[in-house]
Structure 1
Amino acid sequence: MISLIILSVAIFEGTYGALQLQPYNETALGMFIANDPNADGVITCVELEASFDKYDMNGDGTESRHEYTEYICAVSPSLYQLSHWLFDEYDFDGDHHLVKTDYDQLCAAMDTNGDSNVTPDEFIDYWVKVFPKYESVGQHGQHFAHGNSACH
């Protein structure tokens, strides 16, 4: 299963290396399809949590920024800088570690009807609101809050 950050099914690098997330709805739909492991048309909160497990390199039950960005860098180096911003997006409690409560909050943020199932419409609606914040990541002259955009 591909995780939420592995957006390569729908993201292309544009001029000066800026990520092209538009059209947002198509990018989000590609992410949804990649993260619906049983292709049943919903992503459960349990499936969402499981999609983050691969980042836990040391098996301690949490994902650090380093574990998360190193995994992303190994799989898709062009998404390294974006991975820092998305880590912050997922880290709901701001403790610099991703844990079950962060995934629960992410699920709740996407699951607008509260049934513990994220539908394509809910998923797309969520990401269409988030993507504009990250559209300019990597543009020429863009300030990188998390250092340079090269992999560790």
Structure 2
Amino acid sequence: MVTMKSCFLFACIIGLSLAQDYIELRPYNLTALNIFHNSDFNGNGQFERSELNDVFQNYDVNHDGRIARHEYLHFVSQPLYNFAVILFEDYDCAPPPDGFVDDVDFDLYYKLMDGNQDGMVDSDEFVHHWISVLENNEAAHSPSQPPVMP
């Protein structure tokens, strides 16, 4: 069972501002490792496909089995709103993007994270993935960026 505390910690890192003007995400390797530890709900050292669903279960406000862009962004405030918009676009990865994240998107996203394609995402793969996401989107989590409209 996923605790609210775990979901809250994950949300803080990837999109929820805790009344700060800026959340420093550097060093990225430590941020990524923190995300991993807060997402490995069963503590087995692997980020399992079911844990990806668990991370997102609280975003599905209407419980229809998929997360609409507005449901996801509802939990996000500045300073990381721009970054959350980009993350949602990454999560909505099943072609063509439809503005919803569901099991098909989660399957594809999980495979993307699984660098050696063995069906399991270990901490190194997870951290590598998130370092890349953070580096590639650094401008979006900069304090100088104005909010974007999705």
Q: TM-score band, normalised by the shorter chain?
A: 0.7 to 0.9
Flag the 1:120–1:32 CA change in 2: closer, same or farther, 3 A. same
How many residue pairs are counted as aligned between the two chains? 139
Whether 1:103 aligns to 2:102 is: no
8 A Cα contact 1:13 1:19, kept in partner: no
Whether 1:6 aligns to 2:12 is: yes
Flag the 1:5–1:88 CA change in 2: closer, same or farther, 3 A. farther
| Aligned Cα root-mean-square deviation (Å) | 2.6
What TM-score does the superposition give when structure 2 sets the normalisation length? Answer: 0.79
Q: Where do 5+ consecutive residues of structure 1 fail to align?
A: 148-152
Residue 48 of structure 1, CA deviation: 1.0
Helix, strand or coil at the partner of 1:6: helix
Counterpart-to-counterpart distance in 1, 2:111 and 2:18: 29
Flag the 1:18–1:136 CA change in 2: closer, same or farther, 3 A. farther
Match of residue 61 from structure 2: 57
8 A Cα contact 1:19 1:135, kept in partner: no
Residue 13 of structure 1, CA deviation: 9.8
What TM-score does the superposition give when structure 1 sets the normalisation length? Answer: 0.78
Match of residue 86 from structure 2: 85
Counterpart-to-counterpart distance in 1, 2:128 and 2:19: 23
Counterpart-to-counterpart distance in 1, 2:137 and 2:91: 14
Counterpart-to-counterpart distance in 2, 1:47 and 1:106: 13
Deviations for 1:50-83, whole angstroms, at most 9, x for unmatched residues?
211111101111100110011234xxx5433321
Residue 114 of structure 1, CA deviation: 2.1
Flag the 1:139–1:78 CA change in 2: closer, same or farther, 3 A. closer
Match of 1:7, as an amino acid? I
8 A Cα contact 1:5 1:86, kept in partner: no
Counterpart-to-counterpart distance in 2, 1:110 and 1:27: 16
Match of 1:136, as an amino acid? A
8 A Cα contact 1:12 1:20, kept in partner: no
Q: Where do 5+ consecutive residues of structure 2 fail to align?
A: 1-5
Identity of aligned residues (%): 32
